[in-house]
Structure 1
């Protein structure tokens, strides 16, 4: 009987790894770096990994641009992240600066400012600080932690009488 507390790395052959990687990509958009890590985890060698990544790109299971667009859209619309936090997340996934920049341009500016306002109005009642400047500081810090730019935060707060 095997000791189940030890995690064993299963060595997959190329054909099995390709099938598993296709399923992994079909389930959710992935970055090349995520797939590369997964293939190494499955015990493949460097040349096999690069070969499978090429094949996944050719068969359109792996598309870095599509992944980037889906990531930006999801993090902004669902998680309500700002551009700075989204950009950082994409950098960690090994996406190029140019691709990140192009994807961030797809975020509607008015919708972006509206999101800052909605988050500010939602957070404000939860801040129990009495002094105005401390409340403003805590609100700004919260919005910055969500990845929004400080100049836009100030602009939105002042324009809506929250500053």
Structure 2
């Protein structure tokens, strides 16, 4: 049997949930549903979290973009797709991508590509290029950037 929560208990629980780490609206709604909260209670709690700045989608998007770029070395396309999957608005996605300095982005891309080129064990040069290209595209880097870099390898 699952514990049931009052609206006040759920509010406190969600305050901690949001204070611990930036969250998007979808994550919080999902968490509230997992606590068996009714739709009216979810609405009341969401308004409370927004009014008290526990929940801020722009802040979440910016934090997400910075983190995924710096820690996982994701490209802008992958970050954009992941934010879209979380129902983040176009405005907030564009705002989040501005958090990544262009010079830092290109440096990280070239460093990642060079490292991947070095560690890819493939004697056939065409297959090696394809493997590295697929890797960089999976990471979410723009295809024109990837192609230019791949052609530079010989």
Same-fold status (TM-score > 0.5): yes
**d(CA) in 2 for partners of 1:133 and 1:109?**
30
Contact 1:81 1:148 in 2 (8 A): yes
Contact 2:58 2:95 in 1 (8 A): no
- Aligned twin of 2:118: 125
The Cα of 1:157 is off from its aligned counterpart by: 4.1
Contact 1:68 1:100 in 2 (8 A): yes
The Cα of 1:137 is off from its aligned counterpart by: 1.1
Which 4+ residue blocks in structure 1 deviate beyond 6 angstroms? Answer: none
Q: Say which SS state the counterpart of residue 72 (structure 2) adopts.
A: coil
Q: Say which SS state the counterpart of residue 43 (structure 2) adopts.
A: helix
Q: TM-score, normalised by structure 1?
A: 0.88
- Aligned twin of 1:141: 134
Cα RMSD after superposing both structures: 1.4
**d(CA) in 2 for partners of 1:46 and 1:157?**
51
Q: TM-score, normalised by structure 2?
A: 0.93
**d(CA) in 1 for partners of 2:81 and 2:3?**
32
- Aligned twin of 1:17: 10
Q: Say which SS state the counterpart of residue 10 (structure 1) adopts.
A: coil
Contact 2:15 2:49 in 1 (8 A): yes
- Aligned twin of 2:62: 69
The Cα of 1:103 is off from its aligned counterpart by: 1.2
Contact 2:29 2:42 in 1 (8 A): yes
The Cα of 1:108 is off from its aligned counterpart by: 1.4
- Aligned twin of 1:29: 22
Aligned residues: 154
Counterparts of 1:95-114 in structure 2, within 5 Å, are 95-114=88-107
2:43 matched to 1:50? yes
